Amino acid sequence: MVDISLNQISLSGRDYKKETFASAMSSVDGISLTIKAGEFVTLVGPVNNGKTRMLRIIAGLTEPDSGTVYFNGKPLNEFSPTYDKIAMVFQSQALYPHLTVRKNLEFGLKMANLSKETINARISEITDLVGISSIMDIKPRELSGSQRQLAAIARAFVKRPQVLIFDEPLSELDSQLKVKIQSTIRRFCINHQATVIYATRNPSEAMTLGDRIVCMIDGKIQQIGTNHELYNKPVNETVARFISYPEMNFLEFDTVLENNERMLHLVNASCFIRIPQIFREIINSYPKAKIGIRAENLKIVQEKPNTIPMVVEMQEYLGSQSILYVSHEHQTLAVEVPLSESYELGETVYIELAENGIHLFADGKFVI
């Protein structure tokens, strides 16, 4: 088993001839991270935010400007990985175009001088696992994008590596197949005790797969934690917006006296709500704070005090739930509602905030 440590890894955004335009435009800035042996770590962030470059550095394909990568406590250049220690699945698949899928899978195994019986047994096992047995005699150019991605995953799996590095390996798959292959990847990595670094732009995918999630934005690590920690206690507004769909709602407010009661005046919605009990002791210390609240913690109710009048703009259907987008003046909110409820465009609804779902952010940072 292999553990990996990154110590103050930095790489500027200058152009590299051997890198894609997208990866060359993103920088990596002072990254330090420790991945335990056998751990599945997901690296999540928007497109062109340094994820691919960080993976290439870990794999030894790109030299950082500064910092060191350690494998089992040894600098990467001293680790001397053998064939079966590291495998990387590129977003571009990187299959040999002149070879069939079978020969792509066989190539590295033959280079490792494995017996024909071992090669055939591994390929049979993995192609059944990934579901590509029917395309083994086809060349990559004749395959769909999803088939090429599955072949690339299978090529990595047949090595039975100790370290697996994935760069957006499921971007070409439809939603149903993606769920199936996510389960396949997770099961394979657990069974083989592989150390995994898995990059994705999809927060749901990252939170489904990872033992820990590393949220990386603008070339910097914003937060490291479990899916529960990133969702319920995001360190800042940037993470709070990115780690969920729809993104967290934010409301600016002033504290005022209304009918002899201290209230929150919602600036862009021009209405008043009571100060939540949990905020009463601390709110005066943060005069420029924002309320952050997720869609599932908003509720549509009958008109009454302490609600926000909003106008329906759109209803998005997602499985058993739907997301209602509502607005008032310059404030827009996303509200989760049951699929059985439907609303008319332009209809006025009244929004109630669940007190136990309200968070406070000040200067962009999570307070409570």
Of the candidates 18, 159, 167, which has an alpha carbon nearest to the alpha carbon of residue 89? 167
pLDDT, tens only, 310-366: 999 999 998 888 999 999 888 999 999 998 899 999 999 999 999 889 999 998 999
Helix%, strand%, coil% for the chain, nearest 5:
30, 35, 35
Question: Which helix (H) or strand (E) covers residue 238, if one does?
Answer: helix 237-242
Q: How far apart are CA 227 and CA 327, in angstroms?
A: 30
Residues 6+ positions from 323 with CB-CB distance below 8 Å = 246, 295, 315, 316, 334, 335, 336, 337
Higher pLDDT, 10 or 80: 10
pLDDT, tens only, 111-147: 888 999 999 999 999 999 999 999 999 999 999 999 9
Determine contact, residues 262/283, Cβ cutoff 8 Å: no
Of the candidates 160, 129, 131, which has an alpha carbon nearest to the alpha carbon of residue 146? 131
Higher pLDDT, 262 or 233: 233
Q: How far apart are CA 368 and CA 350, in angstroms?
A: 25
